């Protein structure tokens, strides 16, 4: 049961004074977003956050579910590059952050956890809502400090300032060169809160200066010679495209890599890696980011005679299947001879074969869906196509076409992201996904964080809609994140749910050919039948059904002005 604490407006509370000093210190360091879950032990932090929101010093996001709150902060950080503060009370509230903490740890996303706790004298005696919170997240945190309860000493404001700076440095990678979660476990004694003193100075937001770009030479320079390809996994960023362009090499970029654009892009890389005269000739692979969407890439890296170089500007772990990488480096470039050779006819031949073959495959795939139109206009055949049931390929293509550079596209960890990776052409748009652990947790919450952050600034009038493309099980797994309390900002977000009965990703795995059909249905597919229209109404979201290509194109044409769910039944 929550603690019952009487509030006397005339009393003082060290918890309140310390909480306000801590939060204002974070604001001075550039933190702009705070995600709050209500609770008794964390009430001083909550009330201080409300006062900072009232003053316009911070954007406050209130959630009732800690798991949703954790992934909301992941989305906020993916968009802004800065950690959001997460405030929770003690006990299971802290444990519910664990999935988001693990995602942030493996994906290198900055995050700061402010977890309220009992003071030392109430620990280890079975006090209500008390467990061992310090160290709960193990190796997933860059910093974990168990902070004693404040007692009202004059120097506690300075201690709060130092703690904020230490947590900020840890979360942003200043301490370890690896952004990720940092935890301040904050003990509080009663009185757990009091009225803030009048005339208190509120913090003004001071943007944190980005680190100066180094003018040093890359740690490794590549020369001409081996048949080379550049692989861009999730989060690789434009550096992968830049290297491929500079070296004149094929670019195999996953859909959420941030590098799926440019003249060197090979969309149909899976098929080409299987070709003896292309994939079979690869001698060197440069890997950026975290490749997770195909089996062909790990197979290539494990092949005898292939030299692998892994590039990761930050991080505690290296992507290194089989520990086969010849070199691990923080930065990379090409030498003058390599850059000059890429512009010669001989240097362009290797890349040209990949590009030409990939384009031929793309044209063949496009021809499969084309229906000629006669001089009288639309044909019956085309009308039939527009009215035909939708497939995953149709859904992925339509969403990709509808997305533009001012939009955001968030992809769930389901079959649809793999369909997109197999087929969508190059386009310089923002595509995000929780690929640190590739779990289905928190996809909607992450997307809401991306949408809220991208649409909050004064210049956000040029920012479009955030679209979320995910399967039905991924959607239902995070359905609680649809709950937006009164007073919360309503982002322009469209959650597009491909409904195929759930678990269809198992269709492509070996288990589908060996397991009994009834067992597959029961323990792997786990189909669910939920009325998404009724669900949308219950949470106050707009709803639309698109069962044909014509309806889908129409639903994607206009950007929603408030949260909306688009249900798309798919052919199984």
Q: Are residues 443 and 332 in the same domain?
A: no
Q: Are residues 353 and 422 in the same domain?
A: no
Q: How far apart are CA 167 and CA 123, in angstroms?
A: 24
Q: How far apart are CA 546 and CA 496, in angstroms?
A: 10
Work out the percent of the chain whose per-residue pLDDT is above 70. Answer: 88
Domain that holds residue 344: 220-365
Asked whether 511 and 485 are in contact (CB, 8 A), the reply is no
Q: How far apart are CA 5 and CA 285, in angstroms?
A: 62
Residue 366 has pLDDT above 90, yes or no: no
Contacts of 305 (CB under 8 A, 6+ apart): 283
pLDDT at 87: 98
Q: What is the CATH number of the domain that holds 108?
A: 3.40.50.970
Q: Are residues 62 and 121 in the same domain?
A: yes
Instruction: Please state whether the peptide bond connecting residue 162 to the residue before it is cis, i.e. omega within 30 degrees of 0.
Output: no
Q: Are residues 140 and 175 in the same domain?
A: yes
pTM of the model: 0.90
Residue 361 has pLDDT above 50, yes or no: yes
Query: If DSSP states are collapsed to H, E and C, what string results for 486-522?
Result: CCCCCCCEEEEEEECCCCHHHHHCHHHHCCCHHHHHH
Please state the rounded mean pLDDT for residues 275-294.
94
458 compared with 435, residue with greater pLDDT: 435
Residue 2 has pLDDT above 50, yes or no: no
400-410 pLDDT tens trace: 999 999 999 99
Q: What is the CATH number of the domain that holds 313?
A: 3.40.50.1220
Single residue among 187, 210, 237 that ends a domain in this structure: 187
pLDDT at 406: 93
Q: Are residues 400 and 544 in the same domain?
A: yes
Give residue 297's pLDDT band: very low, low, confident or very high (50, 70, 90): very high
Q: Are residues 519 and 436 in the same domain?
A: yes
Looking at the domain assignment, is residue 195 inside a domain? no
Looking at the domain assignment, is residue 252 inside a domain? yes
Give residue 4's pLDDT band: very low, low, confident or very high (50, 70, 90): very low
Looking at the domain assignment, is residue 196 inside a domain? no
Q: How far apart are CA 482 and CA 147, in angstroms?
A: 34
Tokens of 72: 């909301």
Q: Are residues 171 and 252 in the same domain?
A: no
Give residue 42's pLDDT band: very low, low, confident or very high (50, 70, 90): very high
pLDDT at 199: 58
Q: How far apart are CA 58 and CA 241, in angstroms?
A: 36
Looking at the domain assignment, is residue 536 inside a domain? yes
pLDDT at 41: 92
Q: Are residues 139 and 228 in the same domain?
A: no
Single residue among 338, 365, 392 that ends a domain in this structure: 365
The residues pairing with 569 across neighbouring beta strands, listed in sequence order, are 499
Task: Give the lowest-confidence range in 18-22, 206-210, 232-236, 400-404.
Answer: 206-210
**DSSP H or E segment with residue 408:** strand 408-411
Asked whether 446 and 434 are in contact (CB, 8 A), the reply is yes
Residue 520 has pLDDT above 80, yes or no: no
Looking at the domain assignment, is residue 262 inside a domain? yes
Looking at the domain assignment, is residue 204 inside a domain? no
Reduced to 3 states, what is the DSSP secondary structure of residue 182? strand
Give residue 6's pLDDT band: very low, low, confident or very high (50, 70, 90): very low
Beta-strand pair 466-471/33-36: unpaired
Cα dist. 421→40, 197, 260, 546 in Å? 46, 56, 10, 23
Tokens of 254: 């996953």
Residue 243 has pLDDT above 90, yes or no: yes
Q: How many CA atoms lie within 13 A of 516 on its CB side?
A: 4
- Domain count across the chain: 3
**DSSP H or E segment with residue 447:** helix 443-454
Looking at the domain assignment, is residue 50 inside a domain? yes
pLDDT at 381: 58
Burial (0-12, 13-18, 19+ Cβ within 10 Å), 433:
buried
Reduced to 3 states, what is the DSSP secondary structure of residue 39? coil
443-483 pLDDT tens trace: 999 999 999 999 987 665 567 899 999 999 999 999 999 99
pLDDT at 558: 81
pLDDT, the chain, mean: 89
Residue 256 has pLDDT above 80, yes or no: yes
pLDDT at 7: 44
The residues pairing with 374 across neighbouring beta strands, listed in sequence order, are 377
Residue 3 has pLDDT above 80, yes or no: no
Residue 204 has pLDDT above 60, yes or no: no
Q: How far apart are CA 215 and CA 24, in angstroms?
A: 34
Q: Are residues 157 and 288 in the same domain?
A: no
Q: Are residues 394 and 450 in the same domain?
A: yes
Q: Are residues 237 and 182 in the same domain?
A: no
369-386 pLDDT tens trace: 555 545 455 665 555 666
Q: How far apart are CA 166 and CA 254, in angstroms?
A: 35
Looking at the domain assignment, is residue 559 inside a domain? yes
Q: Are residues 409 and 558 in the same domain?
A: yes
148-178 pLDDT tens trace: 999 999 999 999 999 999 999 999 999 888 9
pLDDT at 483: 96
Contacts of 194 (CB under 8 A, 6+ apart): 7, 8, 9, 11, 12, 13, 16
Our CA dihedral for 471, 472, 478, 484, rounded to 10 degrees, sits at 100
The residues pairing with 545 across neighbouring beta strands, listed in sequence order, are 567
55-110 pLDDT tens trace: 999 999 999 999 999 999 999 999 999 999 999 999 999 999 999 999 999 999 99
Single residue among 139, 169, 187 that ends a domain in this structure: 187
Q: What are phi and psi of 491, to 5 degrees?
A: -75, 160
């Amino acid at each position: 049961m929550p603690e019952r604490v009487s509030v006397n407006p005339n009393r003082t509370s060290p918890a309140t004074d310390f909480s306000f000093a801590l939060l204002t210190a974070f604001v001075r360091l550039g933190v702009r977003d705070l995600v709050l879950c209500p609770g008794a032990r964390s009430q001083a932090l909550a009330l201080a956050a409300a006062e900072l929101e009232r003053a316009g010093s911070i954007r406050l996001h209130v959630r009732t579910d800690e798991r949703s709150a954790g992934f909301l902060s992941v989305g906020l950080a993916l968009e802004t590059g800065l950690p959001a503060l997460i405030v929770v009370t003690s006990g299971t509230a802290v444990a519910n952050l664990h999935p988001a903490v693990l995602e942030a740890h493996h994906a290198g996303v900055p995050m700061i956890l402010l977890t309220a706790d009992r003071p030392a004298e109430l620990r280890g005696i079975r006090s209500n809502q008390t467990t061992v919170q310090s160290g709960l997240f193990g190796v997933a945190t860059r910093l974990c400090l168990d902070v004693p309860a404040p007692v009202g000493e004059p120097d506690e404001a300075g201690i709060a300032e130092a703690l904020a700076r230490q947590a900020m440095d840890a979360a942003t990678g200043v301490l370890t060169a690896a952004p990720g979660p940092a935890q301040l476990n904050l003990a509080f004694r009663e009185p757990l809160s009091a009225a803030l003193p009048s005339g208190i100075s509120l913090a003004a937001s001071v943007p944190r200066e980005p680190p100066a770009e180094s003018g040093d030479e890359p740690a490794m320079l590549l020369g001409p010679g081996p048949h080379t390809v550049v692989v861009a996994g999730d989060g690789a960023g434009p550096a992968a495209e830049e290297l491929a362009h500079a070296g004149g090499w094929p670019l195999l970029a996953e859909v959420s890599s941030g590098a799926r654009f440019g003249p060197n892009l090979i969309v149909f890389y899976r098929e080409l890696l299987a070709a003896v005269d292309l994939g079979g000739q690869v001698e060197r692979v440069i890997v950026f980011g975290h490749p997770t969407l195909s089996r062909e890439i790990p197979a290539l890296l494990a092949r005898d005679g292939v030299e692998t170089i892994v590039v990761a500007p930050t991080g505690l772990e290296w992507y290194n299947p089989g520990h086969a990488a010849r070199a691990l480096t923080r930065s990379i470039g090409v030498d003058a001879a390599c850059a000059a050779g890429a512009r010669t006819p001989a240097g362009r031949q290797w890349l040209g074969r990949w590009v030409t073959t990939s384009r031929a495959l793309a044209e063949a795939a496009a021809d499969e869906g084309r229906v000629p139109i006669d001089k009288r206009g639309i044909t019956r055949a085309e009308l039939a196509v527009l009215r035909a049931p939708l497939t995953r390929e149709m859904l992925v293509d339509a969403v990709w076409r509808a997305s533009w550079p001012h939009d955001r596209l968030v992809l769930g960890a389901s079959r649809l992201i793999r369909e997109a990776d197999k087929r969508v052409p190059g386009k310089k748009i923002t595509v995000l996904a929780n690929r640190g652990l590739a779990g289905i947790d928190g996809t909607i919450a992450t997307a809401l964080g991306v949408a809220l952050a991208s649409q909050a600034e004064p210049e956000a009038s040029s920012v479009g809609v955030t679209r979320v493309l995910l399967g039905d099980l991924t959607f239902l797994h995070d359905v609680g994140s649809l709950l937006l309390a009164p007073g919360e900002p309503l982002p322009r977000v469209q959650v597009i749910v491909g409904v195929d009965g759930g678990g269809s990703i198992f269709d492509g795995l070996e288990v589908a050919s060996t397991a009994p059909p009834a067992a597959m249905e029961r323990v792997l597919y786990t189909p669910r039948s939920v009325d998404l229209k009724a669900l949308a109404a219950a949470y106050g979201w707009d709803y639309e059904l698109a069962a044909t290509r014509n309806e889908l194109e129409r639903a994607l044409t206009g950007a929603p002005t408030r949260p909306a769910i688009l249900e798309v039944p798919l052919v199984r």
